[in-house]
Amino acid sequence: MDLVIRGGTVLDGSGAAPRVADVGVQGGRISAVGDLSKVKPESEIDAEGLTVTPGFIDIHSHSDYTLLVDPRAVSAISQGVTLEVIGNCGFGCAPIADPALAAANIYGFNGSIPLSWATVSGYLEKLETAKPAVNVIKLVPNGQLRRSTLGVADRPATPQELGRMKSLLAEGLEEGAFGYSTGLEYPAERGAPEDQIRHPRRAAQTLNLLRDSFKSFRAAPYLDALAIAERHLCSLPMGLRHGCLFEEFEEAERRDVICQDRFERPDVVFQSRRAFGRLQRLCVKTQKPGVLFFQGPRGRF
């Protein structure tokens, strides 16, 4: 065995009670959990008094470009994050038709790494060469789909442009992207009507992949997003991010949009920012919607 982490309190993510155990690693993978006192590994770590967990997943990262600039990912690794989902909110590094237009739709872009690729596969190859310290799941950003076809025009795509966007999305999914994201509040996507969000979705639907959707900061945006989900998008897991206040969900409960307290595998996941930096994470099933609240001191769990 390559490594044994000895005597830590293991939280394995399954919901099981914490327990003191050893964790064995072989070939970069966990190979055993339990009493490994008789195992003589090549190296070991004394974790007595510490907690041992699987790596955390950051489902809302914008490190697409910064992982190329500094692949050490210190801010993630130092907090236990080992997997980042990038390409969120319609922003990201691929696909790219015109680097000058694409740059404005990439968080953290500073020009130190030229945008020398055009496709999702080209970006992923560049990222692999950088050897980032975290694992990565990439989403295809709708903002870059639009910039690659109609530039910065604040209007719906023509049928020809929409066909090109669908082709780019399908290519990106085939080349290794895990899903599709939108950022409907941002300049690159404000001109996209509902039906042009739905159509690219169908390309992702055949692969049963994740969709991330950022709605807006305006009043009750998630009620609008849920209505769209109920009309068109119920067959896939979907994430809705940002901008929702607790009061909006109280209104949703009054309107019977949300009607149950717990669930196991949600179809829709809400992530919401509270005042003073507190976070809520809310999950909803679209067929008979349910919600789980995580709140600050005055909230409920």
Residue 117, CA distances (Å) to 44, 96, 208, 256, 295 in order: 42, 7, 27, 47, 42
Which domains does the chain show, CATH number per domain?
Answer: 3-52 (2.30.40.10), 55-208 (3.20.20.140), 215-301 (no CATH)
More confident residue, 220 or 77: 77
* Cα torsion through 111, 112, 118, 124, rounded to 10: -140
More confident residue, 107 or 271: 107
- Whether this prediction's pTM lies above 0.75 is answered by yes
pLDDT of residue 239: 58
d(CA 165, CA 168): 5
pLDDT over threshold 90, residue 2: yes
Name, in order, each residue with C-beta under 8 angstroms of 4's C-beta and a sequence gap of 6 or more. Answer: 22, 23, 24, 25, 36, 39, 41, 44, 45
Per-residue pLDDT tens digits for 224-243: 666 665 565 455 555 555 55
Per-residue pLDDT tens digits for 55-97: 999 888 999 999 999 999 999 999 999 999 999 989 999 999 9
**Residue matched to tokens 């042009």:** 196
Backbone CA torsion sign across 79, 83, 86, 88:
negative
Structural tokens at position 153: 């025009």
Q: Average pLDDT over the chain, rounded to whole?
A: 78
- Percent of the chain exceeding pLDDT 70 equals 65
More confident residue, 204 or 80: 80
* Cα torsion through 116, 120, 122, 128, rounded to 10: 110
Spatial contact of 130 and 68, defined as CB atoms under 8 Å apart: yes
pLDDT of residue 277: 37
Length of the chain: 301
d(CA 167, CA 210): 18
**Residue matched to tokens 């072989």:** 26
Q: How confident is the model at residue 210 (pLDDT cuts 50, 70, 90)?
A: low
Lowest pLDDT segment from 30-39, 56-65, 272-281:
272-281
Q: How confident is the model at residue 248 (pLDDT cuts 50, 70, 90)?
A: low
